[in-house]
């Protein structure tokens, strides 16, 4: 069975469209890359959105891998500025509350969860470790589909996934959800054991 690491992209600029990472985001992505450099990774994938691609570039530098883009890793909805932010946020909240609701722009929570599930299922039976840089909304949608709302940490649905947090799966079994332990390790400290070891 593969170990699949779903990585939340690092902190992004607060602009519409396809924003890149902030300075803090680049630093956090670099630290995440360093951690993966010590773990050993066999394949690297990312969402086509810039913030995910930039996060994956840092992981790629540390692991020697080039990220392959996969559209199934994209976010449920992406604010492009064409609609007022308040309208976008209303649609986002409605999608979260009603998983079948299809927003004006993007996917329903159910469809987004199924999309990410298809990616993980495709890679779950292979050997090795796979890193997939994705987004918080679709990661939560995926977890809601895979294990149900009752199995998620308190506040995850409402508060979202922190930047560069790792959700780890052993095949289709959830091992960790939205953990940032790898960011707390100082240089020279022992690295936490990767999932599956």
Mean pLDDT (the chain, rounded)? 93
* Residue 185 banded pLDDT, cuts 50, 70, 90: low
Structure tokens at 13: 């600029």
Question: What pLDDT shows up at residue 152?
Answer: 97
Burial of 155 (0-12, 13-18, 19+ CB in 10 A): exposed
pTM assigned to the model: 0.93
Q: Which of 8-22, 58-72, 117-131, 174-188 has the lowest mean pLDDT?
A: 174-188
Per residue in 131-176, pLDDT tens? Answer: 999 999 999 999 999 999 999 999 999 999 999 999 999 999 999 9
In the chain the first and final C-alpha atoms are separated, in Å, by 12
Residues 6+ apart with CB under 8 A from 81: 16, 17
Helix (H, G, I), strand (E, B) or coil at 40: coil
In the DSSP assignment, the letter for residue 9 is: P
Residues 164/32, Cβ–Cβ less than 8 Å? yes
* Residue 188 banded pLDDT, cuts 50, 70, 90: very low
CATH number of 3-76+109-184: 3.40.50.1240
Residue 192 has pLDDT above 80, yes or no: no
Query: What ranges make up the beta strands (E) of the chain?
Result: 3-8, 43-46, 68-69, 129-134, 166-170, 173-179
Question: What pLDDT shows up at residue 182?
Answer: 95
Residues 105/76, Cβ–Cβ less than 8 Å? no
Per residue in 82-137, pLDDT tens? Answer: 999 999 999 999 999 999 999 999 999 999 999 999 999 999 998 899 999 999 99
Can you tell me the mean pLDDT for 38-67? 97
Q: How far, in Å, CA of 170 to CA of 38, rounded?
A: 19
């Amino acid at each position: 069975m593969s170990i699949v690491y779903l990585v939340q992209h690092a902190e992004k600029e607060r602009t519409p469209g396809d924003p890149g990472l902030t300075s803090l985001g680049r630093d956090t992505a670099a630290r995440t890359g360093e951690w993966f450099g010590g773990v050993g990774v066999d394949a690297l994938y990312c969402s086509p959105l810039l913030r995910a691609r930039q996060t994956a570039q840092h992981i790629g530098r540390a692991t020697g891998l080039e990220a392959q883009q996969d559209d199934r890793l994209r976010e449920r909805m992406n604010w492009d500025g064409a609609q007022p932010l308040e309208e976008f946020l209303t649609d986002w909240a409605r999608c979260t509350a009603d998983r079948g609701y299809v927003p004006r722009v993007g996917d329903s929570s159910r469809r987004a969860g199924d999309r990410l599930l298809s990616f993980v299922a495709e890679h779950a039976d292979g050997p090795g470790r796979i890193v997939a840089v994705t987004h918080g909304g679709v990661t939560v949608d995926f977890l809601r589909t895979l294990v149900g709302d009752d199995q998620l940490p308190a506040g995850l649905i409402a508060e979202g996934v922190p930047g560069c947090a790792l959700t780890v799966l052993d095949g289709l079994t959830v091992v960790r959800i939205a953990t940032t332990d790898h960011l707390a390790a100082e240089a020279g400290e022992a690295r936490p054991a990767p999932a599956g070891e």
